């Protein structure tokens, strides 16, 4: 059994075969899929998918850093209206992305701080997107201090960044990048304590080898599990059990169908 802790299955990339895609995921053993939000435009598709599949798909609330612009406060207000709906399991995805453009770096930081506040008020985990922004994100977390928990999604930092992320008590999300040649993530994965590792696809993005270059989907999580198992000398069933246990420990609001 596997848990895809970060996947955008509500996007239009799946509009032609969404139900079949979900069937493939379940057939592959991926029985839970966690849906981070992007912006106000994705709220209804995400919530509808979670409503249609209440024991498979679980929604989060957040504003993605690349969706932050001059009108971000109004966008946060629109998203805030949905925060206390039943079934919300986390806040995200949020964080900072300074890879291509630093124009709204200040706004991204303010948005990130606001969403951390949402998470702390509700005792929900926060899902952090960190791209070319570890220094800035660590500064914010140092300012906040204790009381925030969550995951560094799509982790691609080095050993120093890993040690700092772990020092906050956060989980580390590993996705298809680990299967890419020369990704440099093998040493990182070996250095993650087993109880702090969770798996994700980030579908429809970042499809793992041998599906690289295609649309990603949750069934491909097994390829990520295979690679992690190879690195950590575990079979894929052990990887699935460990990472699912970790995901459910972090996202405590996930309901089971028994």
Task: Specify the pLDDT at position 120.
Answer: 97
Q: Which pLDDT value is given to residue 243?
A: 98
In whole angstroms, give the CA distance from residue 239 to residue 134. 27
Q: Which stretches in the chain have pLDDT values below 50?
A: 258
pLDDT attached to residue 255: 84
Chosen CATH of 2-250 out of 3.30.1330.10, 3.30.1330.80, 3.20.20.140, 3.30.70.1090 = 3.20.20.140
Determine the Cα–Cα distance for residues 164 and 1; give it in Å rounded to an integer: 30
Characterise 233 by phi-psi region: left (phi > 0), alpha (psi -120 to 50), beta (else).
left
Task: For residue range 204-248, list pLDDT tens digits in order.
Answer: 999 999 999 999 999 999 999 999 999 999 999 999 999 999 999
Which tokens is 246 given?
A: 């970790």
pLDDT at position 257: 67
Q: What is the reported pTM?
A: 0.97
pLDDT of residue 40: 97
The answer for residues whose C-beta is within 8 angstroms of residue 198's C-beta and 6 or more apart is 3, 5, 151, 171, 172, 173, 174, 243, 246, 247, 250
Domain boundary assignment for the chain: 2-250
Amino acid 117: pLDDT:
98
Reported as half-sphere exposure (CB side, CA atoms, 13 A), residue 155 has a value of: 30
Give, in order, the Cα–Cα distances in Å from 38 to each of 9, 41, 140, 225: 12, 8, 21, 26
- pLDDT recorded at residue 219: 98
């Amino acid at each position: 059994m596997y848990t895809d802790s970060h996947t955008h299955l509500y996007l239009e990339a799946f509009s032609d075969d969404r139900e079949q895609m979900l069937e493939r995921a379940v057939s592959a053993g991926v029985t839970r899929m966690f849906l981070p939000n992007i912006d106000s435009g994705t709220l209804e598709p995400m919530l509808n998918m979670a409503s249609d599949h209440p024991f498979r798909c679980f929604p989060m609330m957040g504003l993605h850093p690349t969706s932050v612009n001059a009108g971000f406060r109004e966008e946060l207000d629109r998203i805030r209206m949905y925060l206390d709906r039943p079934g919300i399991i986390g806040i995200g995805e949020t964080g900072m992305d300074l890879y291509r453009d630093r124009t709204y770096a200040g706004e991204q930081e303010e948005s990130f701080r606001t969403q951390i506040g949402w998470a702390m008020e509700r005792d929900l985990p926060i899902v952090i997107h960190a791209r070319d922004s570890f220094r800035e994100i660590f500064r914010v977390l140092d300012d906040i201090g204790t009381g925030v928990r969550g995951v560094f999604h799509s982790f691609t930092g080095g050993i120093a960044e890993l040690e700092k992320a772990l020092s906050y008590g956060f989980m580390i999300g590993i996705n298809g990048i680990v299967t890419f040649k020369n990704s440099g993530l093998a040493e990182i994965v070996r250095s993650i304590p087993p109880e702090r590792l969770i798996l994700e696809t980030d579908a429809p993005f970042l499809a793992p080898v041998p599906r690289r270059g295609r649309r990603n989907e949750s069934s491909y999580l097994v390829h990520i599990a295979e690679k992690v198992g190879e690195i950590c000398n575990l079979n894929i069933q052990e990887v699935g059990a460990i990472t699912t246990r970790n995901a459910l420990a972090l996202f405590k609001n996930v309901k089971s169908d028994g």
